[in-house]
Structures are given as C-alpha cells and as structure tokens.
C-alpha cells in the first residue's frame, strides 16, 4: 500500500452502517478491518472533529470549538502539510465549504468543491464522488480526501436514523462504491465519520454522538471487527501507509494494519 483515499460521511453512526441496505456497506464491513465503535472528540461538531482528524490533536489543543474557523494560536501541522513537505500529492473533494481551512495554502495539488447548499447534498455527493474517481484515475494522488455531507443534512432535517437519514446512508455507500471499486491493490481506503447524532442534533458526549465507524479496506489487511480507535488516529495511519513521519505534536497513533 502506498496511496490512501479517506472518505468521510458526515454524521454517520455505526448502527446506521449495520442497517444500511446498500450491498457495499456489508461488503466493506465484512471484507475490511472494521473499528465498529471508534471514538470522536468533544465537542462532537463537524469542524472541530475534522480539525482533530487532520491534525491528530483534540480541540482543546487546536482551538476550534465551533464550525467557525479561527487561526491556531500554537499551530499544529495538518496531515496535508506534512505530506506536502514529504513530496506527496494531496487532493480534496468536498461539498461543505467550511472544510477549505483544513489544509493550509500550497499543501494541495487539487481541490474540487461543489456546494451542497446550492445543488442539494444528494447531487453534491454524486458530483464530488464522480470528480474524485476521475481525478484518482487520471492523476493518482498519494492522499485523497472525499467529504459527503448528505447524511448530516438529513439528520438535521428529519432526525438521525429516520427513513430519510437511512436513504442518505444508502446513497453515501453508493458514492463510496463508485470511488472504491476496481482500485489497484496499492490503495488503502478509509471510510469514517466525524461524529454521530441523536434526535435532530449532535455535539454532546452521548454515545450516539461520540461513536463513529472506521473501516479500512485493502486486500492485504486482515479483515474483522476490532475494538478501539479514535478519530485522531487517522492522520498517523495515513502517514504510516505513505511512509512519512508524523508530526511530533500529534497525539494519535496509527491504527493496526496487520
């Protein structure tokens, strides 16, 4: 393995993965290494959780506590900055604009943004997935991040685990399959979420908000359900696969791949 695709489904709970009717959800959890009860960080809110994922520190260290970005007082390098310094090519595909600040200027080779608010998240999910698939096939970046926002939008509009939410889960796995199917063996695909949710909200320390799935897909990884895992472990895992030293201030540890 020497390339990584990280696909994040905003607001996806592990029990929603288990109930998903799209066949690729079952295929991924059965054929991959599945951390079925991994943990996110508090506050369990989208931008703080993403900052922790990309910078491998908790919000009390990076300082982002809401969905409004503010510059870090004591900056920690993110995974894209670390990879760029090592000569790696990174690409972003996303449909929630606030994520533009996850990487600093000059750390990305390519970025594709489709507004979920303008096009609707169902269409925006489809567009970013197809764009990611095309770019991966043509340019083979070392690290690709794909963000799918429809599930979180459905949770806020109709409730977590509602019919509309589960329909969004199904479509998200359709998008994941579009990206993941027929990849060369040197790709590791990581499927995860930033947080869960309950009712029509999230942000608390309830298990429904704090528990996330992490699925690792590659034919060379030992399959099966594993305990543990934290969102801050993902960036070190990416670096391990790509053969790059993690930043010294990162708090997470690589997820076991053997």
Rounded Cα gap, residues 106 and 101, in angstroms: 12
Query: 102-112 burial, b if ≥16 CB within 10 A, otherwise e?
Result: bbeeebbbeeb
**Mean pLDDT score of the chain:** 98
Structural tokens at position 189: 């695909």
For the segment 32-60, what is each residue's pLDDT rounded down to a tens digit? Answer: 999 999 999 999 999 999 999 999 999 99
Structural tokens at position 224: 């099966």
In this structure, are residues 11 and 196 in contact, taking their beta carbons and an 8 Å threshold? yes
Structural tokens at position 178: 């579009």
The reported pLDDT for the residue numbered 202 is: 98
> In the chain, where do the E strands start and end?
3-9, 33-39, 90-94, 110-113, 143-148, 187-192, 211-217, 224-226
pTM, 2 dp: 0.98
Q: Residue 95: pLDDT above 90?
A: yes
For the segment 140-197, what is each residue's pLDDT rounded down to a tens digit? Answer: 999 999 999 999 999 999 999 999 999 999 999 999 999 999 999 999 999 999 999 9
Average pLDDT on 91-98 reads: 98
The reported pLDDT for the residue numbered 99 is: 98
Q: Which domains, ranges and CATH numbers included, belong to the chain?
A: 3-242 (3.40.720.10)
């Amino acid at each position: 393995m020497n390339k990584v695709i990280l696909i994040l489904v905003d607001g996806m709970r592990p029990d929603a993965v288990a109930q998903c009717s799209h066949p690729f959800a079952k295929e991924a959890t059965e054929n991959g290494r599945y951390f079925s009860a991994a943990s996110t960080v508090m506050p369990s809110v989208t931008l703080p959780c993403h900052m922790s994922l990309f910078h491998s520190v908790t919000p009390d260290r990076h300082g982002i506590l809401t969905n409004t970005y503010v510059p870090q007082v004591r900056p920690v390098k993110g995974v894209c900055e670390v990879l760029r310094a090592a000569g790696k090519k990174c690409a972003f595909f996303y449909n929630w604009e606030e994520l533009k600040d996850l990487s600093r200027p000059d750390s990305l080779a390519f970025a594709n943004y489709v507004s979920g608010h303008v096009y609707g998240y169902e269409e925006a999910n489809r567009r970013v997935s197809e764009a990611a698939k095309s770019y991966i096939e043509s340019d083979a970046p070392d690290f690709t991040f794909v963000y799918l926002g429809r599930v979180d939008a459905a949770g806020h509009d109709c409730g977590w685990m509602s019919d509309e939410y589960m329909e969004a889960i199904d479509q998200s796995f359709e998008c994941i399959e579009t990206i993941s199917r027929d990849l060369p063996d040197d790709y590791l695909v990581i499927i995860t979420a930033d947080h869960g949710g309950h009712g029509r909200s999230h942000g608390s320390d309830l298990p429904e908000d704090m528990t996330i799935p992490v699925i690792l897909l590659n034919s060379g990884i030992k399959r099966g359900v594993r305990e543990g895992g934290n969102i801050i472990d993902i960036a070190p895992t990416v670096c391990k696969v790509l053969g790059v030293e993690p930043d010294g201030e990162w708090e997470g540890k690589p997820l076991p791949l053997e």
